[in-house]
């Protein structure tokens, strides 16, 4: 009933106590795959104290200098966010998010941002979806470890439901494109759009962010991504006159 293919990723966490609290919450709900992106203080005695029995999750945590490295091989990435964005991203509620992660057959990641400001726009560009946890509008601030606890509880319930219903099966057909290949595609797309003068790098007008949102929403499989890369290469080889 455990989701070994799901990574819980804490991006630039500041307080080691929150790392320990997140590890404890994960172990409570059967998750052990913790990834940390450039934490301010870790390892740290406060993290171990807050883990309270989940020190093994801390000891096995994977450390990364960048988010892209933490997302290597992931084909589904969901970011948590409470802030409104100038360009809205495909959004999920916690239960729907958990069901999507529980049903996903290959590597996936659930991201949690900094305690003070959450995930940046550039980090959300790596996400297929954004999930927001409903809170009291008069006091919406949610502790990082508390947010992890809510989400991993929903994932635990969704995973149990999928297993007992006989629905926990791997995705059929072509595998979804992974994070690294998607980032290469976006870089390739931007190069071609500049080459054909559709994108002005001096005045981008958020064009790439909107296109990234479009393709993330489509959840491209590997074959579809290869077709798109082939089209871009053909454009580069046969530029319009």
**Mean pLDDT in residue range 195-199:** 94
pLDDT tens per residue, range 1-16: 457 899 999 999 999 9
| Per-residue model confidence (pLDDT) at position 83 | 73
- How many CB atoms are closer than 10 A to CB 77? 25
How many beta carbons lie within 10 A of that of residue 5, not counting itself?
18
Given this model, what pLDDT does residue 169 score?
A: 45
What's the pLDDT tens digit per position in 63-112?
Answer: 999 999 999 999 999 999 987 666 778 999 999 999 999 999 899 999 99
Give the whole-number percent of the chain exceeding pLDDT 70: 92
pLDDT at 116 exceeding the cut of 80 = yes
Rounded to 5 degrees, what angle do the CA atoms 213, 14, 11 make?
25
**The predicted structure's pLDDT at residue 164:** 56
Can you give the pLDDT at residue 15? Answer: 97
146-179 confidence digits (pLDDT tens): 999 999 999 999 998 866 555 444 444 578 899 9
The values of phi and psi at residue 177, to 5°, are -65, 140
HEC string of the chain? CCCCCEEEEEECCCCHHHHHHHHHHHHHCCCCCEEEECCCCCCCHHHHHHHCCCHHHHHCCEEECCHHHHCCCCCEEEEECCCCCCCCCCEECHHHHHHHHHHCCCCEEEEECECCCECCHHHHCCCCEEECCCCCCCCCCCCHHHHHHHHHHHHHHHHHHHHHCCCCCCCCCCCECCHHHHHHHHHHHHHHHHHCCCCCCCCCCCHHHHHHHHHHHHCCEHHHHHHHHHHHHHHHHCCCC
201 has a pLDDT exceeding 50 = yes
| CA 63 – CA 77 distance, rounded (Å) | 18
pLDDT for residue 35? 98
Q: Which residues contact 9 (CB under 8 A, 6 or more apart)?
A: 35, 36, 37, 67, 70, 71, 109, 110, 111, 112
Is the pLDDT score of 55 beyond 50?
yes
User: What integer pLDDT is reported at residue 89 of this predicted model?
Assistant: 82
Q: What's the CA gap between 7 and 154, in Å, rounded?
A: 15
Cα gap 94→119, rounded to integer Å:
17
Tell me the domains of the chain and their CATH numbers. 6-164 (3.40.1280.10), 179-237 (1.10.8.590)
Residue 48 has pLDDT above 90, yes or no: yes
Q: Are 127 and 109 in contact (CB under 8 A)?
A: no
More confident residue, 141 or 170: 141
pLDDT exceeds 90 at position 24: yes
Residue 34, strand partner residues: 8
How confident is the model at residue 140, as a pLDDT?
A: 85
> Alpha carbon of 120 to those of 94, 112, 113, 133, 135: distances in Å?
20, 11, 8, 17, 21
C-alpha distances out from residue 203 to 57, 67, 120, 200, Å: 46, 27, 21, 5
């Amino acid at each position: 009933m455990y989701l070994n293919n799901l990574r819980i990723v804490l991006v630039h966490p500041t307080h080691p106590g929150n790392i320990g609290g997140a590890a404890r919450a994960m172990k409570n709900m059967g998750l052990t795959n913790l990834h940390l992106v450039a934490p301010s203080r870790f390892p740290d005695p406060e993290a171990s104290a807050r883990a309270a029995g989940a020190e093994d999750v801390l000891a096995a945590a994977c450390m990364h200098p960048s988010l892209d490295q933490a997302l290597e091989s992931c084909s589904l990435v969901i970011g948590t966010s409470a802030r409104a964005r100038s360009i809205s991203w495909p959004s999920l509620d916690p239960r729907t998010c958990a069901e999507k992660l529980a049903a996903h057959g290959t590597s996936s990641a659930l991201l949690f941002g900094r305690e003070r400001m959450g995930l940046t726009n550039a980090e959300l560009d790596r996400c297929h979806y954004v999930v927001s946890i409903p809170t009291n509008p008069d006091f919406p601030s949610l502790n990082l470890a508390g947010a992890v606890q809510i989400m991993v509880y929903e994932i635990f319930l969704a995973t149990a439901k999928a297993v007992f219903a006989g629905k926990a099966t791997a995705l059929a057909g072509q595998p979804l494109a992974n994070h690294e290949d998607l980032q290469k595609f976006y870089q390739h797309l931007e190069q071609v759009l500049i080459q054909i003068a559709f994108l002005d790098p001096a005045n981008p007008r958020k064009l790439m962010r909107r296109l990234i949102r479009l393709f993330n929403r489509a959840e491209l499989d590997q074959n579809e991504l290869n077709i798109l890369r082939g089209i871009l290469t053909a454009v580069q080889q046969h530029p319009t006159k």
